[in-house]
Every structure is written in C-alpha cells, then in structure tokens.
Structure 1
Amino acid sequence: MLKLTMCSRRLPGLSREQFDQHWRDRHGPLVRSHQAVLRIRRYVQTSPLAEPAAQESLRASRGMIAVDFDGLAELWWDSLEDHAAARTTAEGAAALRQLIEDERSFVDLSRSLAWYGAERQIVP
C-alpha cells in the first residue's frame, strides 16, 4: 500500500477558517469525484485542533517546535505503479490537473510538504 502525506499551509490572505472550509467543502468532494479514475483507495483530511492550551502543552512537554501547518492530507493507493498508471490516461491526467489547480487556489504549495511512504501498522 502506497501512502501520500501532505502537510499544507494556507495561502497568505486566507484565514484558517477560509482554508478549512475550502478544503473540506470544495477540495474534499473534488478528490472524491476523481477517486475511481485516479485509483485512490482512501483520503483523509486532518485539521489541527483549535485548542491553543492543549497544543502548547503537547509541544512544551516534548520540547518541540510549534505546528506551522493548516492541514494534513493522507491518500492511499494499492502501489506506486498503480498510482502512476492512473496518471497515464487522458482522464487521469485531466483529473490531476484539476486537483492541482484547485490546490493552488487555497494551498501555498511553495511552503507545504508532501512525500510518499509505506505504513507500518503497529496497533491495528
């Protein structure tokens, strides 16, 4: 199973609420609409909990840096080959272009991170 993880930062000028609303109400359904053609097995959005005291307590208890992301997206495919094959069709390429175009309307891609990985399930 292949997993893409993306830590996103919002575009300057967008509030956290505007970012989250677009991500949840526009981008999420857009990803869902392309699920079959892009062979996406699962898609999850995680927003930072809006509890400053809890966030600070967690950060301070471990000596960590403050969270500087507005959201974390996780997408799964059966394999890297399956993920790549979905993008070789005209329909898959068009879907990917549409998703990236939408991302550019609310995500500061130059300050965001994304990587491929493989999960190790420790606690089922």
Structure 2
Amino acid sequence: MATKTKVLRVSMYLKRKPGLTEEQFNHYWPQVHGPLVSPLVEKYGILKYTQYHTSSTVQQAMMSAWPELKALDITPYDRVAEFIVKDIHRIKKSRDDPFFIEKVRPDEEKFSDVKGVAWAIGWEEVYVRCGKIVSESEARQDAP
C-alpha cells in the first residue's frame, strides 16, 4: 500500500550556464541563489524547496556501486530544483511577485541555461517511510 499525499511536487531540471564550471555552479546555486529564493518560497506558503546536486563525482561513485548503470544514459541535466506545494496558484503568485521578476529571474540567468530547463509535476506516493513499509492505515490517512 502507498500513501497519496495531498500536495504536488514541481521538479525543474536545470543545466548550468555554458562556460560555467561544475565547481562554480556548485557554489553559486546553493550559496547565492538558494538564499535569494527562500524568502519568496516562504512568503507564498510553498511547503518545501529542495536542490538536488548531481555532480560528476557522485555519478561516478554511483556507477561504481551499481555497474549496470554504465549501460544507461545519464540525464543531461546538472541539477533538480523541487517545490512541494498545496496548489498550483502558490507557484503562480510567487512568479508574479515583483521580487521574483526583478531579482530572482535575472539571477537564474547568471548560473543556469534558462532555455534548457525541463519540468515535471505530479503527486507523491510513498511506499517506504523511515525505512519501514507504509501500513494500510497510514496509506488511507494520507489519501486525497
């Protein structure tokens, strides 16, 4: 059995700006952009903002641990930003905010290939939580 949460996960797949090294990207995104975005995320009641860092070092370590992955394609995206929201309107409001338009959006162009972004949206179903299989009563409790 799996839980079905009442929230949406918006995933933004990012590529670093051409000419930017992996090290420069790894510094700028969490150290500069993350703190810039965080107050806006909080202001509009977005439940969670997460940055997934998928460096070449981590990819190589994973392929060593799971050799069959070497035969598969690695996603062409450098990183993933995820937002957990109660509804789509919160994302819209945050993107319409003058702070987003004047500060956040221009900052994205400093480190990201803004034309190379892909996205996905959906809800989450949890089968294992805290290392334990989700019970039937937990699953019904979270169902929409």
TM over 0.5: yes
Count of aligned pairs between the two proteins: 120
Using the alignment, how far apart are the partners of 1:107 and 1:15 within structure 2? 11
Out of 3, 12, 15, the position equivalent to 2:9 is: 3
Using the alignment, how far apart are the partners of 2:127 and 2:97 within structure 1? 35
Alpha carbons 2:41, 2:94 under 8 Å: kept: no
Q: What secondary structure does 2:126 align onto?
A: coil
1:58/1:7 Cα in 2 relative to 1: closer, same or farther (>3 Å)?
A: farther
Using the alignment, how far apart are the partners of 2:25 and 2:43 within structure 1? 26
Q: Which runs of 5+ in 1 are unaligned?
A: none
Partner of 2:78: 70
Alpha carbons 1:7, 1:69 under 8 Å: kept: yes
Partner of 2:99: 95
Once the two structures are superposed, residues 18-60 of structure 1 have per-residue CA deviations (whole angstroms, 9 ceiling, x without a partner) of: 1111101111001112123332211111111414532434675
Identity of counterpart residues, as a percentage? 25
2:115 paired with 1:110: yes
- TM score, norm. by length of structure 2: 0.71
Using the alignment, how far apart are the partners of 1:16 and 1:45 within structure 2? 15
Superposed CA RMSD in Å reads: 2.3
Partner of 2:134: none
Partner of 2:52: 46
Which 10-residue stretch deviates more, 12-21 or 74-83?
Answer: 74-83
1:118/1:11 Cα in 2 relative to 1: closer, same or farther (>3 Å)?
A: same
Q: What secondary structure does 1:119 align onto?
A: strand
Once the two structures are superposed, residues 72-110 of structure 1 have per-residue CA deviations (whole angstroms, 9 ceiling, x without a partner) of: 1111111123333x248xxx5213312221111110022
Partner of 1:37: 43
Using the alignment, how far apart are the partners of 1:82 and 1:7 within structure 2? 20
Alpha carbons 1:59, 1:66 under 8 Å: kept: no
Alpha carbons 2:46, 2:90 under 8 Å: kept: no
- TM score, norm. by length of structure 1: 0.81
